[in-house]
A and B are shown apart, each in its own frame.
Chain A
Amino acid sequence: MKKFLFLLIIVLIGIEVGNAALIEPKIEVKEVKKGEFVVVPIYLDTQFEEINAVEVYVNFSDNLVFRDYLDGKSIITHWIEKPRVVGQSSLPVKPHVVERSSLRGKPASTLATKRTEGSASVVFSGIVAGGISGKNLNLVDLVFEAKESGIAKIEIGENSKVLLNDGLGTKTKLIALSQSFSILDIESLSRSELALLREKSKIQDNFPPEPFKIYLTKDKEIFNDKYYITFETKDKQSGIAYYEISEKPINFIFLAKPDIKNLSLKKAESPYILEDQSLRSYIVVKAVDKSGNERVEILYPQRILLYEDILMLVASLLILIALIIFVIKFKYKNEKIF
C-alpha cells in the first residue's frame, strides 16, 4: 500500500511538473571572494510549451548587491521592463562555515520558497515576438557584487509569470528554482586590483550592435500628439550601453547626408519626442555597446518643403516675373521716346 501511495505521489508530481515552464539561476562558481563580481545567468526551459512573455522576480540575499545586467544572449526580443531592483533584501545570510561542505560538489538547484515579503528582487519583463519553445534559453545575465561573507542565495520568485503563445496570454505553470554559493571571508584584492580584474573579465567584443530601424509615429493620446521616434536594437556580445540622438536640419543647397563625425549627439532613450516637429531634419540614432562599438542609423527628412515654403516660393516667382515685365516695359517705353 505504501509502495502504491509513493508511486502515486511520484506520478502526480510528474504530471504537475510535466506541463510547467522552468526558470532557474545557473551559477557556475561555488565560491567567490568578498568584493568580486558574480554573473548569474537566468535560464528558461519551456518544457515543450510555446511561450511569448515573461515577468521574472529574482530574489537575492542581502550579502549581494545588484550591479548590472547583460542581455546580449537573451531570447527576449523586446523589453517591457529592463532588470531593476525592487524592495529591501531580507533573505537570511547564513554563515558560510555551516554550508561549505555541501558546496564541494556542483551547487544543486532547489525549489524556490515563497518570496519573503519585503525582500530585494531584481524584476524584469519582456516578450519574445512570435513565441519560442526550447530549453537552456537565456533570459538575462545578472551581475552581482559579493558584499558580505556567508552563503549567498539567488531564487526565482514564485510570483514570476510565463505566458503561453496562444493569442490569449494564458499563464502557464511555473517551476521556480534557486541556487546558492559561498562568499569567502578572505581579504579580497585591493580596489585597483579588483578594477583591473573586472576590466580583464569584460567580454571581448569587436562587433557593432545589430542593424535597426527607426520608426516615426504620432498618436493623439501620447505626448500631446507630437511626432516621436521609437527604436531598439541588440548587441550580441556585451549588450547595449546607451543611445545617442541628433536632429540635423536639412541642407537645402546640397541635400547631402549629415557628416556623422561632426554631429553633436546627446544621450537619449526610446521613445524620443522630436524637437523638429516639421520633420525637415535628418534624425541620427547611434547605438553604443558596452565595449564602445557603434551602429548608426539615419531617418531621412520626411518633408523637404512645407506648404508655407511653397507659397513663399510662388510669391517670390510672381514678384520676379512682375519685376521683369516692368523692366522690359520701361525699357521699351524709353526706346520709343528716343
Chain B
Amino acid sequence: MEKILKISLLILILILSFFIFQKIKSASVNVTAIVPGVCGNGIKEGSEQCDGNDFGGQTCFNFGYSGGSLSCNANCTLNFSSCTTGGGGGGGGGGFISQYSKIIISGYAQPKSEVTLMSDGEIRATTIAGDDAKFSFTLDNLSPGTYLFTLYSEDKDGRRSSLYTFPVKLEAGQTITAGNILLSPTIDIDKAEVKRGDFISIFGFTQSEANVLISVNSDEEMFFKTTSTKNGFYLYQLGTDILEKGDHFTKSKSILANQLVSNYSRAVSFKVGDKTISKEIKKVCGKADLNCDGRVNLIDFSITAYWYKRPLTEEAKQKVDLNGDGKVDLIDFSIMAYYWTG
C-alpha cells in the first residue's frame, strides 16, 4: 500500500513538473533574459539611481558639477567620484570686466535627423546630424549664470525623441564641454488596436547599429531587444499572445556600444482587444499645441496662462484643459512642459 502511495506521489510530481515546465516555456516566448526590477540588470528602474551604464539621462551637471562622468555603484546608487568642479575659467583681476562663457554640446541622435538645442525653453540652434548620427553645437557669448539646456531630435518622418535636459552653471570666461549625449530613439506603432495573438510592429529611428531595448507596460513591465540598421531604423514584431486584453503602452531606449544608454523615448499607447485596427495617419494638432502650429512654445503657454484660474468656455475646455478636469491649473502646465518643443 505504501509502495503504491509512493509511486502515485512520484507520478503526481512528474506530471506537475511537466505542466510547470510547459507553463514557463510558453511564458518565456519572446521575453529576453532581462529580469525586471532587479539591480544589476542594466536598466534603471523604480527607486534605483542608476544601473550599469543607465543613468536615466542624468549627468554630473544635474548635481551641480561642471563636468566629468557619473558611474554606478554595485548597489545601483550614483557615484560622483569622477565628476569635476570648476576649471576652464580664465582671465580675472583689475576691475569688473564682462567675460562671456562658452559651451560645446555634442552627442548622438539619429542619422540625418534634425537636432534642436534649447536654452531655458527657447530654441537657440538647430543642426542636422551626420550619417553616423553625430551632432555638435557651440554656443559662445553666454553671460555667466545657470542655464537649462534641452535637446531633442526629429527623424525624417517627423517623429520626435524625448527631451534631454541638463542644467549647467557657467562661470565668467569658462568653457564647458558636454559630450557623449545619447538622445532617445523615436518610436511609433502600426496599429491602434490589435487582436490578441496578432503581431504589432514597434518601430522608429535611433543610432546606427545600436541595441534597442523596448519596454511594454501592462500590469507588469516586459522588455524586448532588437538592433537598428545602418540608417538607424529599428523594428520589433511583438506577438500579443503574452499580453492581457486592455490598454498598454510601449517606449524604447538605445544602448550604444554597450557603453552609453539613452533616456526612454516618448511612450505610445495601443490596445489589445478582439479586432485589429490600423493606426490612422491623420493630421491633428499635437498634445498641448494649442494654436496648432506644430510647436509647443511660449504662444501655447500664454494661451494657457490666459485661462489660468478663469472660468472656461466650451471651446476653451476642448483646447486648453489638457487633462479634462474642467479647469486650467498646474497639472495642465505640467503636461505642456512635457510636450515642450520651443
Among A138, A167, A270, the residue within 8 A (CB) of B335 is A167
Q: Is B131 an interface residue (CB 8 A)?
A: no
When distances are taken between beta carbons in the complex, the residues of chain B under 8 Å from A310 are none
- In the bound complex, CA of A125 to CA of B123 (Å): 23
- Residues of chain B contacted by A210 (CB below 8 angstroms): 119-120, 143
Task: Give B147's nearest chain A residue, CB to CB.
Answer: A236
Say yes or no for A105: interface residue by CB 8 A criterion: no
Closest CB of chain A to B139's CB: distance in Å? 11
Q: Residue A234 at the B interface, CB < 8 A? A: yes
CA–CA, A236 to B148, complex, Å?
A: 11
Write out the residue numbers on chain B whose beta carbons fall within 8 Å of the beta carbon of A204: 96
A80, B298: Cβ atoms closer than 8 Å: no
Is the C-beta of B107 less than 8 angstroms from some C-beta in chain A?
no
Residue of B nearest to A163 (CB): B334
Is A86 located at the chain interface by the 8 A CB criterion? no
Which residues of chain A are near B57, meaning CB under 8 Å?
Answer: 50, 133
Complex CA gap A112/B333 in Å reads 27
Say how far A270's CB is from chain B's closest CB, in angstroms.
7
Q: How far is the CA of A96 from the CA of B298 in the complex (A)?
A: 47
A215 near B299: Cβ-Cβ < 8 Å: yes
Q: How far is the CA of A39 from the CA of B163 in the complex (A)?
A: 33
Contact with A along B124-168 (1 / 0, CB 8 A): 000000000000000000011111101000000000000101010
Does A18 belong to the interface (CB within 8 Å)?
Answer: yes
Closest to A125 in B: B330
Q: Which of B143, B267, B342 contacts A237 (CB 8 A)?
A: B143
Docked pose: A237 CA to B142 CA in angstroms: 12
Contact of A63 with B by CB under 8 A: no
B293-339 interface with A by 8 A CB criterion: 297-299, 301-303, 305-306, 308, 313, 315-316, 323, 330-339
What's the least CB distance linking B91 to chain A, in Å?
14
- How many pairs, one residue from A and one from B, have CB atoms within 8 Å of each other in the complex? 160
Taking a contact as CB atoms under 8 Å apart, the answer to whether B145 and A129 are in contact is no
A132 proximal to B (CB < 8 A): yes
Q: Does A52 contact B (CB under 8 A)?
A: yes
* A72/B145 in contact, CB under 8 A: yes
Residues of B within 8 A of A335 (CB): none
Q: In the complex, how many angstroms separate the beta carbon of B297 from the nearest chain A beta carbon?
A: 7
A: interface residue count bin: 35 or more
Q: How far is the CB of B6 from chain A (nearest CB, A)?
A: 43
Query: Which of the segments B58-66, B175-183, B184-192, B213-221 contacts the partner chain?
Result: B58-66
Q: Which residues of B contact A74 (CB under 8 A)?
A: 146
- Whether B334 lies near A169 (C-beta < 8 A) is yes
Return the chain A residue nearest B331 by Cβ: A169
Q: Does B98 contact A (CB under 8 A)?
A: yes
Of residues 97 through 137 on chain A, the ones whose CB sits less than 8 Å from some CB of chain B are 125, 127-137
> Are A128 and B49 also in contact (CB < 8 A) when A163-B331, A169-B323 are?
no
Please tell me if B340 contacts chain A, counting CB pairs below 8 Å: yes
- A127 and B143 within 8 A (CB): no
Partner of B338, one of A167, A230, A231, A236: A167
Please determine whether A131 and B165 come into contact, CB atoms closer than 8 angstroms.
yes
- A271 to B302, alpha carbons, bound, how many Å? 7
Q: Is the Cβ of A270 less than 8 Å from the Cβ of B302?
A: yes
A78 to B342 Cα, complex, angstroms? 12
In the complex, chain B residues whose CB is within 8 Å of the CB of A73: 145-146
A265 within 8 A of partner (CB): no
Closest to A73 in B: B146
Q: How far is the CA of A135 from the CA of B143 in the complex (A)?
A: 23
What are the residues of chain A within 8 A of B56 when measuring CB–CB? 48, 50, 133
| Contact A78–B145 (Cβ < 8 Å) | no
CB distance from A80 to the nearest CB of B (A): 6
Is B333 within 8 A of A215, CB to CB? no
B222 at the interface (CB under 8 A from A): no
Min C-beta distance of A229 to chain B, whole Å: 9
In the complex with contacts A77-B120, A168-B323, A207-B98, A131-B163 CB distance below 8 A: yes
Is there a chain B Cβ closer than 8 Å to A75's Cβ? yes
Chain B residue with the shortest CB-CB distance to A208? B143
A53 at the interface (CB under 8 A from B): yes
Q: With contacts A133-B58, A210-B143 known, is A127 near B337, CB below 8 A? A: yes
11 pairs across A/B with beta carbons < 8 Å? A52-B337, A53-B333, A127-B333, A127-B334, A129-B337, A132-B165, A134-B61, A163-B331, A165-B338, A208-B143, A236-B143
Closest 10 CB pairs of A and B: A236-B145, A169-B331, A129-B121, A134-B62, A207-B143, A77-B121, A169-B334, A53-B334, A52-B337, A129-B340
**Which residues of A line the B interface, CB within 8 A?**
18-19, 48, 50, 52-53, 55, 72-75, 77-78, 80, 125, 127-138, 161, 163-169, 204, 206-208, 210, 212-213, 215, 217, 219, 221-222, 230-232, 234, 236-237, 270-271
Given A129-B340, A130-B340, 16 more A-B residue pairs with CB atoms under 8 Å apart are A48-B56, A52-B334, A53-B330, A78-B298, A128-B337, A130-B150, A131-B165, A135-B62, A167-B339, A169-B331, A210-B143, A212-B122, A213-B123, A215-B302, A221-B315, A236-B145
